[in-house]
Amino acid sequence: MILPKVGEIMVAGYGNNKAEVLEFIESNGYELKQYFEPSGDTVKDMTAISLWLRKHKDVNVVIIYDMEDVGGEAAFYYWLYVFLCKGVDILSVSSDEDYDFAFKLRQMSRYRASILRKRVGDAVSISKRAKDKSVYAKYRLPYGYVWNRHGEIVIDKEQAHHVKYVYTKRKEGMALREVAKRMNEYGWRTENGGKFTRDKINSWIFHNKMFYYGYQRDIDGNFVKGSYEPIIPEGFLEDSKIVIDDPKLKGLE
């Protein structure tokens, strides 16, 4: 098992095997900050935990019982990648020590470093565009937005209609797979002319929630109010079973 660094460890727990996880936390002398009970929707749960971690910077490990708590091995490594980008590890209680896991953990750490480098590069590009709007780097914007010739972020009306439909149906409780099916039945297509799928909606649209609310990340990873028009009203999805609390939006004008 890959244990966290020795020292003061503040952790969060998640999963159905609460007793085993709490026993592990106690036996290792870690301090439990919060335990999250599963709602039945792993993606929603892990997203909520990921957002919760922004407020609780003292938490550096999320402890689960095994990989199945986050949907299996593939999902485990995906969420490990997401959390490592925040400087947080996922620790599986039932995992035996194996070098394959350690190797993948090191890979994820390198990925995190590359992401941080890209964020710095994006921040530099944004700064250059502010000084000279005729010269700007056309890095990819979330689905629903495009660059105009002045280097400004503007709404693509057709794509924005798709985005609004996705968020409305998701708020109603419809699964993303069913949302994609209906969009294809309506004859709607992606910007490249392809059909919508659950994975495309999840990565292109659903994971860009904060951008659609009108907030961009600065060089430190904090959300700041953007100068473009939001597609989705702020807080549109925050009435789900697990409340997604994003403290970095509070007080921003």
- Which domains does the chain possess? 10-105 (3.40.50.1390), 140-249 (3.90.1750.20)
Location of structure tokens 């599963």: 38
Helix (H, G, I), strand (E, B) or coil at 25: helix
Contact by Cβ (8 Å): 198, 190:
no
Measure Cα distances from 78 to 75, 129, 146, 151, 247 in Å.
Answer: 5, 33, 28, 33, 24
Residue type, 102: A
Separation between Cα atoms, residue 54 and residue 221, nearest integer Å: 10
Confidence of residue 220 (pLDDT cuts 50, 70, 90): low
Q: At what angle do helices 73-84 and 99-131 cross, to 10 degrees?
A: 50
Closest CA to 71 of 16, 10, 18: 16
Residues 6+ apart with CB under 8 A from 137: 125, 128, 129
Higher per-residue confidence, 116 vs 155: 155
Q: Is the dihedral of CA 211, 52, 28, 38 positive or negative?
A: negative
Angstrom distance (rounded) from CA 241 to CA 209 = 17
pLDDT of residue 139: 57
Predicted confidence (pLDDT) per residue in 176-219, tens digit:
889 999 999 989 988 888 899 988 888 888 778 888 888 887 65
Q: pTM score, two decimals?
A: 0.44
